[in-house]
Amino acid sequence: MEKARDDSVSQLAGGLGSFLRKGIFSILSVGPLPNHIAFIMDGNRRYAKKQNMAEGAGHKAGYLTLMKMLCYCCELGVKYLTVYAFSIDNFKRRPEEVHSLMDLMLEKIEELLKEGSIVNQYGVRIYFIGNLKLLNEPVRVAAEKAMAATANNTKVVLLICVAYTSYDEIVHAVQESCKVKRNEIEAPNASKVIRSVPGVEEDKEINEAIASNLQGSCENSSSKFGALNRTTACSGLIGVEEKNGAIVHAIQGSSEDEWDEVVSRTCNGVIEGDEESKKKQLVLPTIKVLDIEKHMYMSVAPEPDILIRTSGENRLSNFLLWQTANCPFYSPTALWPELGLWHLVWAVLNFQRSHHYFEKKKKQL
């Protein structure tokens, strides 16, 4: 009987809380609302110590706070929610702690996919962001399964940064951008391979002359090369062609006539000939900001509108350094498991107060 009464009180309190939230959120919606909120979930271990809880219990309490914030953001109308769950630097912690965190992560990923979970209730799509190959296989497989299972959800996007640092993300994006640009140059010119003049393919001296030219040799070539002997500065000729916005140099020719059409050649990387030929220097592809942003782990989401770090810390800790250049930063003293509705409301109010200023800055950029 007493238990039933307690349950009734809890349900009533829950109903009143839900009604209160809806009222607050409807008032907030009069002003601009953030589209993307990012959290650095700091203070789980300190919370466990503060509450005299067992090691690891703070992270479990932190998971409940994450679900609570996800629920609030869904009700408020926030489209993207990003959380910093596990840094690459966290792998430096004690092996026992890392192993415990991986087990907890595996358990909670499986919990997210249960039928009655908040993820399915609100139509949340999950992305795991970071260098996922650093995770152990069970966690990586579970993460991939969660992303595949929620791929058709469209209402809210939850981005969980694991095995992540901004340094790693930026390096990865630059490497991928260079790889794509290199492929754009090489693929259209795959047929333009180095080969000797037709009819004399077996002539070792010609092949050596072509090779020495590519190596920057400035030895005189034999007169028997015919069209190859435009001047005596170098032994071979380099064709110049524009492909995909870059000047591509390659040995050309499937007939002797084609060799006559080559417009320039190089010696130690410098093009010789008339002034027009000299302008056609070897131009490497330009890597632009948009190229890098396209290959970021976080390219699946817009830049955050608010960044919240709990526990009163004012450091970014290598989190979203690229994406938060024009993002208001809020750092309540509450530890992550202590974060509540009013902290979120206050962060949104601060966002609305400075919204005009940050929008102006973004337009200037």
Give residue 234's identity as a one-letter amino acid code: C
- Paired with 235 in beta bridges are none
Is residue 203 part of the annotated active site? The answer reads no
Asked if 273 and 259 touch (Cβ cutoff 8 Å), the reply is no
User: What whole-number distance in Å separates Cα of residue 192 and Cα of residue 107?
Assistant: 54
Q: How many CB atoms lie within 10 A of CB 350?
A: 14
Per-residue b or e along 233-265, where b marks 16 or more CB atoms closer than 10 Å to that residue's CB: bbbbbbbbeebeeebbbbbbbeeeeebeebbbb
User: What whole-number distance in Å separates Cα of residue 91 and Cα of residue 332?
Assistant: 27
Q: What is the dihedral of CA 304, 309, 314, 316, to 10 degrees?
A: -50
Three-state SS for 271?
A: strand
User: What whole-number distance in Å separates Cα of residue 203 and Cα of residue 211?
Assistant: 13
Half-sphere exposure for 307 (CA within 13 Å, toward CB): 21
Q: Where do we find the tokens 């497989």? A: 141
Catalytic residue of the set 42, 89, 203, 291: 42
User: What whole-number distance in Å separates Cα of residue 148 and Cα of residue 23?
Assistant: 35
Provide the annotated active-site residues: 42
